[in-house]
Chain A
Amino acid sequence: MKDVDNIAYRLSGVSKIYRKGNRVIPAVRGLDLDIREGEWLAVQGKTGHGKTTLLQLLGGLDAPTEGSVTFDGKDPAAREVRARSFGFVFQTFNLIPTLSARENVEAALIPLKMIASERRRRVAQALESVDLGDRAQHLPAELSGGQQQRVAIARALVKDPRVLLADEPTGNLDEDTRDEIVNLLESLWREHGITLILVSHDSTVVRRAQRIGVMSKGRLTIRQPYPPASRAFTSDTDTVRKW
């Protein structure tokens, strides 16, 4: 059973406004939200309605125009917090094309100033956990889309983060691969007890979450209440190796 009583994120009156010349584009408006430790929150919504902006605010990649975002009472934009606590998975994988799968995963550990042998051990484990141990030396271009996203997930999880922020992680994948990746994310969430915040426009993906929020014109509406702790999960966890 997950501990769901601790608040990981607290968003108070958060707005994010972009300005392009004379145009003002409100991406997120007046958002108040608490996200609990170990929760899986899925945010659904149409393109351009502020999903990715919300994720970037949560990941400390951007700062709100108004209001505040805190993670454990700290600013999530602080580099130390971002380096240790957050793992990112992007729609377009964002792997560094010149580095092998192993080196891409290793890149996430560089800011943690870990000794090389420990880095190697953790990278190998992370790649094994996503079933890519035999693809460690391959460049991203030599991997399928699903494999690339699994490398990106390994990169996100290798530092043992407290939060996994996934932005349309299945957006560039076919249906079979999509299910495979969602199953993998769910398994990792269950195994590691991490907070999973997933943004997607795909209902099939979103409905697997504990709590669903819908972004529309920058406003978030929680559609599905927080489920009872006894809620059962049906996905296959065999793909996840022991961490």
Chain B
Amino acid sequence: MFFLTYLRRELRNRMRQAVFIALGLAIGVGLVVTVMGASAGVRNAQGKVLASLYGIGTDLTVTMKPAPPTGGGGTRIMVTPSGGQDCVNGTCSEIGPGSVIDQLSSFNNGPIDEDDVSEIARLRDVTNAVGGLQLTDNRITIPGANATTMPQPTSTSVDGTDVAHAGYGPLASARLTEGRSFTGTDADRNGALVDANYAIAHGLTLNSTITLAHTKFTVIGILSQDEAASPPDVYIPLARAQALATNPATGASLKNQVTTIYVTAASDSDIPLIQQEIQRVVPKATVSSSANLASQVTGSLASAAKLANDLGKWLAILVLIAAFALASLLTSAAVSRRVREFGTLKALGWSGGRIVGQVLGESVTTGIIGGLAGIGFGFAGVAIIRAVAHPLTASIPVASTGPQTQTAGPGQQFSSLQSPAHATVSVPMSASVTVTAIVLAVLLAIAGGLLAGSLGGWRAARLRPATALQKIG
């Protein structure tokens, strides 16, 4: 085909210039692919953290800030050299040495009435709303009179899961490795699903028991979970959790209460409206979308996200603009050198469109070569990021670990109310070249070629043959 022969010969003749243009485009496209790969990696990391925290498929979460204890209210435990005191709403009882205190409480979030879950589920554009209890089980043994060191409480994070909707909340992100998951019949049974690492650390196996709030639960399944976001150690049925847990601010039971509502919207565009509707149902609640949750993540993960989204994006755009401008100028210069050639072709009867097509063909081919090289550069860039990037750290809001002993002097005390805690977790940087990035790279390269070629082609097309033939090439 004459078009291709002419194109090939011309590009071969201008090899150095073609390589220069292709290289410019390749760098621009490669940078775009790399930035997109890094962004995808950061997004994946964020997604992992958020999914672990709030579960897959959750568009909105509803939580309530914990109310501060009023006066001498709430649960308070005093540890003294001769034993301890357990105070609930100002009424204290002595605890003898060797006694075990085991409380299952919600420290980080305040309670929400379970009826609100049903009301939210009925809202228009809400696909589903499921309640859960995020709790911490704190266990401490009161020391004897001669104890020289203060005991440390052991804390276990516990998630009260709606067994009829186990596909929502943190359990949705977990993978069952042994045993079975919850079924509808487990709602009122003392069955527990245990994180694999926690099971190893505490010597738990299938059918062994774990004690929470002085109640024995049988391990029915072992879970593998992404540790990036500090997932719960133990999952128990929501109804059992509600029956055993107390509100640390009031000491009251959390029966018919939840601490988190996981909401799924019919579509992303409905989320802002649903947010407002939920706020109307539960005025004091905090309603967070995935975007809100992502903004709560701090640390190098957030910095990397900002770097990739802001600096990386603009750098890639600037380099692309420079590459496009360079390609356009060089193509235009090449057309200037070929004026007499195009004049001759016009004299031979070639149409302006055919000449423009020839110039465009040459520049688009250069663009595609640049695009392919750019994809290669992109893969290389992503590989370099993977090789040299340190794991990202993400600081995320998590449930409080509950009471801690104080270390100063006798008459130590600990309060069951703690300020909201943050956990810093390490997330691997899993940058990868996506299909979208490759498609975009090819489109950008073609666009670059078209842009460069159209300027040169336009100049070639509007040449008057007589004028063009007078030019000394």
Q: Which A residues are closer than 8 A to B by beta carbons?
A: 53, 56, 59, 61-62, 79-80, 82-84, 86, 88, 90, 94, 96-99, 103, 106-108, 110-112, 116, 155
Partner of B2, one of A59, A61, A110: A110
Q: Which residue of A lies closest to B348 (CB)?
A: A108
Chain A residues near B347 (CB-CB < 8 A) = 59, 61, 82, 86, 88, 94
B6 touches A99 (CB 8 A): yes
Given contacts A56-B466, A61-B469, A111-B354, contact A97 B13 (CB under 8 A): yes
Q: Across the interface, which residues of B come within 8 angstroms of A98, CB to CB?
A: 6, 9-10, 12-13
Residue of A with least CB distance to B346: A61
Instruction: Please tell me if the beta carbons of A90 and B344 are within 8 angstroms of each other in the complex.
Output: yes
In the complex, A80 Cα to B348 Cα: how many Å?
A: 10
Q: Which residues of A contact B354 (CB under 8 A)?
A: 110-111
Verify if B204 is at the interface (C-beta below 8 Å from A): no
12 A-B contacts, Cβ less than 8 Å apart?
Answer: A56-B465, A61-B346, A83-B348, A84-B349, A86-B347, A88-B344, A90-B469, A94-B340, A94-B341, A97-B341, A110-B348, A155-B348
B-to-A contact residues, CB < 8 Å? 1-2, 5-6, 9-10, 12-13, 340-341, 343-351, 354, 464-466, 469
Further pairs besides A62-B464, A107-B348: 6, Cβ < 8 Å: A56-B466, A59-B347, A79-B351, A90-B344, A99-B6, A111-B349
Smallest CB-CB A-B distances: 10 pairs:
A83-B349, A62-B466, A111-B349, A98-B9, A61-B465, A94-B344, A98-B13, A61-B466, A56-B466, A108-B348
Closest chain-A Cβ to B355's Cβ sits at a distance in Å of: 11
Nearest neighbor of B472 in chain A, beta-carbon distance: A92
Q: How far is the CA of A117 from the CA of B2 in the complex (A)?
A: 12
Could you tell me the distance between the alpha carbons of A90 and B348 in the complex, rounded to whole angstroms? Answer: 12
Measured CA separation A43–B6 after assembly (Å)? 35
- Which residue of A is nearest B14, CB measured? A98
Residues A111 and B2 in contact, CB atoms below 8 Å apart: no
Closest CB in chain B relative to A190 CB, distance in Å: 24
Q: How far is the CB of B89 from chain A (nearest CB, A)?
A: 94
B residues within 8 A CB of A155?
348
A163 to B340, CA, bound (A): 22
Residues on the B chain within 8 Å of A103, using CB: 2, 5-6, 9
Do A62 and B465 have beta carbons less than 8 Å apart?
A: yes
Which partner residue on chain B sits nearest A107 by CB separation? B348
Q: Is the CB of B466 within 8 A of A88?
A: no
**Most A-side CB within 10 Å, residue of B10, B12, B347, B351:** B347
Identify whether the interface residues of A are mostly helix, strand, loop, or mixed: helix
B14 CB to nearest A CB, Å: 9
Alpha-carbon distance between A47 and B19 when the two chains are bound, in angstroms: 42
CB distance from B160 to the nearest CB of A (A): 77
Q: Which residue of B lies closest to A108 (CB)?
A: B348
Distance between Cα atoms of A112 and B354 in the complex (Å): 12
Cross-chain contact B345 with A107 (CB below 8 angstroms): yes
The residue that B350 contacts in the complex, of A53, A80, A97, A111, with Cβ under 8 A, is A111
Which of chain A's residues have a CB closer than 8 A to the CB of B12?
Answer: 98
Residues of A within 8 A of B348 (CB): 83, 88, 107-108, 110-111, 155
Question: CA of A62 to CA of B465 in the docked complex: distance in angstroms?
Answer: 7
Residues in A with CB closer than 8 Å to B6 are 96, 98-99, 103, 107
A216 to B6, CA, bound (A): 41
Which residues of A sit under 8 angstroms from B465, Cβ to Cβ?
56, 61-62
CB-based contact A96/B349 at 8 Å = no
Per the bound structure, the CA–CA distance linking A233 and B464 in Å amounts to 38
Which A residues are CB-close (under 8 A) to B2? 103, 106-107, 110
Q: How far is the CB of A159 from chain B (nearest CB, A)?
A: 8
A107 contact set on B, CB distance < 8 A:
2, 6, 345, 348, 350
Q: How far is the CA of A167 from the CA of B341 in the complex (A)?
A: 16
| Alpha-carbon gap, A90 to B473, bound state (A) | 14
Known: A90-B469, A98-B13, A103-B5. A110 touches B350 (CB 8 A): yes
In the complex, are the beta carbons of B341 and A96 less than 8 A apart? yes
Q: How far is the CA of A103 from the CA of B10 in the complex (A)?
A: 13
Closest to A155 in B: B348
Return chain A residues, CB-CB under 8 Å to B464.
61-62
Q: Smallest Cβ distance from B470 to chain A, in angstroms?
A: 8
Q: In the assembled complex, how far is the CB of residue A117 from the closest CB belonging to chain B, in whole angstroms?
A: 13
Give the interface centre of B1, B464, B465, B466 by most chain A CB atoms within 10 Å: B466
| Cβ contacts under 8 Å, A112 to chain B | 349
Q: Which residue of B lies closest to A152 (CB)?
A: B344
Please give the distance in Å from B64's CB to the nearest CB on chain A: 76
CB distance from B453 to the nearest CB of A (A): 17
Give every chain A residue within 8 A of B10 (Cβ-Cβ). Answer: 98
Residues of A within 8 Å of B350, CB to CB, are: 83, 107, 110-111
Cα A83 to Cα B340 with chains together (Å): 18
Residue of A nearest to B465 (CB): A61
Report the separation of the CA atoms of residues A88 and B340 in the bound assembly, to the nearest whole angstrom.
14
- Chain B residue, CB-CB nearest to A165: B347
Q: Could you say which residues of chain B place their CB within 8 Å of the CB of A88?
A: 344, 347-348
CB distance from A127 to the nearest CB of B (A): 16
CA distance A200 to B5 in the complex (A): 35
Closest A residue by C-beta to B341: A96
Cα A62 to Cα B354 in complex, Å, equals 20
Instruction: Please give the distance in Å from B366's CB to the nearest CB on chain A.
Output: 15
- A99: B residues at CB distance < 8 A: 5-6, 9
Interface pair A111/B344, CB less than 8 Å apart: no
- A-side contacts of B469, CB under 8 Å: 56, 61, 90, 94
The complex places the Cα of A181 from the Cα of B341 at a distance, in Å, of: 23
